[in-house]
């Protein structure tokens, strides 16, 4: 299934607006870069409708769209990492000077890493704009250009900072099961290795990262481990950058760590004897673990654990995962709950009020058909929900979106760049 590209661009812009509101760019010293990122997305938005149509028959356009989506998912990852870091602080979720998002960005190492990634995103978008000019895309009316405004909706704010994609009993059960496995005292099967490795698997967009984050922030995990490390392993990772990021995440001294010969000892010193939980998210190659991280992380304390998320079972077996957990698609009821939340607020900071519940429930029949188009994938539902958030809560409007030709075309290739899954 192909995610509606202009809808995803709008969803990403919502995140950018929230980042601007929370003054993240100011704290990072990259306010101009964030503004540029927003401007480029706004520029590209005018041509996304034509790009979606042309990608069906033109493999070069298809490649261009895939690269653009990869950049957009990377941008989403960066913003969600900020949220994740905020959750780690355990601070108040109130806005203002105590906003945990602002609090976590005062860490200069973290701020430098995020700022560098934002600058690289802008460079990548510059290249995308240049190559896109060769295709001579036409400006077409996108969903966001339709002049329909959402009606005012009363909302009840929640004091808890929670991920908007966490819905249903299944993810709670999966989290509980995996947390129990990771925290119980069991001997590691592999001789000479203190680390038990668990793999979370599933197709792109199904919720592997959401499950991993749920585990990472679980109260029991907080209590049982001396240290938690979250590493996003890109498809084309650099070994030096990977090791440096790991050192920074463990609170080690990365100064003077310019290559593997100096980085590995620094990482070993940071984790030696400590019971850690390491999450390696979105792995595309077992080399990241087998060739670069396994040796230094073997110096952790007894009971240390590693969680890997991947789409490829061969990678899970390649890193010798002792347990493989397959993430299932959302049930219809859970998918509907997620879509409703996204329609009210894609950022997930507010909940549906009692006043608005019957209005949205009246759209359940057409909503379930839209969910069917999303094939039970949480990421697809979140993106489409972000689009519906801007529309009239009207059966006819939702039917128009359901019937749009972009949704389903014979021979439409499956997305292979869903980095937020």
Domain with residue 213: its CATH number is: 3.40.50.300
Task: Kindly report, residue by residue over 345-377, the tens digit of the pLDDT.
Answer: 655 555 566 677 788 888 899 989 988 888 888
Please check whether residue 123 lies inside any domain of the structure.
yes
Indicate whether 251 and 217 sit together in one domain. Answer: yes
Q: Looking at the structure, do residues 334 and 356 belong to the same domain, yes or no?
A: yes
The count of other CB atoms within 10 Å of the CB of residue 402 is: 15
Rounded to two decimals, the pTM is 0.59
Claim to verify: residue 142 and residue 190 sit in the same structural domain: no
Residue 14 has a CB neighbour count (10 Å cut-off) of 16
Q: How far is CA 179 from CA 198, 207, 212, 275, 305, in A?
A: 11, 17, 10, 15, 11
391 with 310, same domain: the answer is no
Is there a single domain that holds both residue 235 and residue 105?
no
Domain count, the chain: 2
Residues 176 and 320 grouped into a single domain: yes
Residue 421 lies in a domain: no
**What is the C-alpha radius of gyration for the chain, rounded to an integer number of angstroms?**
22
Domain stop point among 268, 301, 326: 326
Q: Are residues 141 and 20 in the same domain?
A: yes
**Distance, CA of 198 to CA of 136 (rounded, Å):** 47
Give CB contacts under 8 A, 24+ apart, made by 132-139. Answer: 132/44, 132/47, 132/51, 132/64, 132/68, 135/51, 135/54, 135/58, 135/60, 135/61, 135/64, 137/47, 137/50, 137/51, 137/54, 138/47, 138/50, 139/46, 139/47, 139/50
Q: Distance between CA 288 and CA 234 in Å, rounded?
A: 10
Query: Could you tell me if residue 76 is inside a domain?
Result: yes
Let me know whether 257 and 233 are in one domain.
yes
User: 80 and 174, same structural domain?
Assistant: no
Inside any domain, residue 382: yes
196, with CB counted inside 10 A (0-12, 13-18, 19+), is buried
Asked, for residue 419, whether it belongs to a domain, the answer is no
At 346 the pLDDT is 56
How far apart are the C-alpha atoms of 306 and 396, rounded to whole Å? 48
Interval 379-392: pLDDT, tens: 888 878 877 877 77
115 lies in the same domain as 26: yes
Is 415 a member of any domain?
A: no
pLDDT at 220: 94
In the chain, which stretches have pLDDT less than 50?
1-3, 86-104, 141-163, 189-192, 405, 408-421
Residues 155 and 179 in one domain: no
The distance of Cα 25 from the centroid of its chain, to the nearest Å, equals 19
Helices 378-388 and 332-344: crossing angle in degrees, nearest 10, is 40
d(CA 301, CA 268): 11
Q: Are 315 and 285 in contact (CB under 8 A)?
A: yes
Owning domain of residue 383 = 5-162+330-402
Do residues 31 and 135 both lie within one domain?
Answer: yes
Q: Is residue 413 part of a domain?
A: no
360 part of a folded domain: yes
């Amino acid at each position: 299934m192909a995610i509606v590209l202009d809808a995803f661009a709008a969803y990403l812009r919502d995140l950018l607006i929230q980042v601007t509101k929370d003054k993240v760019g100011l704290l990072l010293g990259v306010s101009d870069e964030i503004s540029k990122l927003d401007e480029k997305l706004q520029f590209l938005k005018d041509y996304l409708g034509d790009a979606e149509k042309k990608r069906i028959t033109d493999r070069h356009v298809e490649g261009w769209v895939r690269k653009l989506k990869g950049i957009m998912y990377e941008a989403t990852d960066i913003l969600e990492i900020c949220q994740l870091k905020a959750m780690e602080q355990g601070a108040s979720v109130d806005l203002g000077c105590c906003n945990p998002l602002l609090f976590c960005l005062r860490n200069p190492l973290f701020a430098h890493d995020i700022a560098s990634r934002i600058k690289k995103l802008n460079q990548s978008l510059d290249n995308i704009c240049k190559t896109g000019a060769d295709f001579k895309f036409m400006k077409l009316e996108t969903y966001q250009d339709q002049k329909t405004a959402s009606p005012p909706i009363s909302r009840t704010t929640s004091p808890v900072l929670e991920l908007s994609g966490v819905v249903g009993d299944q993810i709670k059960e999966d989290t509980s099961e995996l947390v129990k496995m990771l925290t119980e005292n069991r001997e590691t099967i592999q001789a000479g290795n203190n680390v038990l490795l668990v793999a979370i698997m599933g197709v792109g967009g199904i919720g592997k990262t959401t499950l991993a984050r749920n585990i990472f922030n679980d109260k029991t995990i907080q209590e049982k481990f001396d240290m938690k490390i979250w590493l996003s392993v890109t498809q084309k990772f650099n070994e030096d950058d990977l090791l440096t990021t790991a050192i920074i995440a463990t609170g080690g001294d990365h100064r003077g760590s310019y290559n593997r010969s100096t980085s590995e000892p620094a990482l070993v010193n940071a984790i030696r004897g400590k019971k850690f939980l390491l999450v390696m998210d979105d792995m595309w190659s077992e080399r990241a673990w087998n060739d670069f991280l396994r040796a230094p992380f073997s110096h952790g304390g007894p009971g240390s654990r590693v969680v890997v998320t991947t789409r490829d079972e061969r990678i899970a077996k390649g890193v010798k995962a002792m347990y493989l957990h397959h993430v299932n698609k959302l049930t219809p009821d859970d998918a509907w709950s997620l879509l409703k939340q996204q329609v009210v607020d894609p950022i997930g900071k507010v909940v549906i009020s009692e006043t608005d519940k019957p209005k949205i429930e009246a759209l359940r029949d057409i909503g379930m058909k839209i969910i069917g188009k999303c094939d039970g994938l949480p990421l697809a539902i979140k993106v489409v929900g972000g689009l519906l958030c801007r529309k009239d809560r009207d059966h006819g409007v939702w039917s128009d979106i359901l019937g749009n030709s972009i949704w389903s075309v014979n021979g439409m290739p499956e997305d292979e760049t869903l980095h937020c899954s």
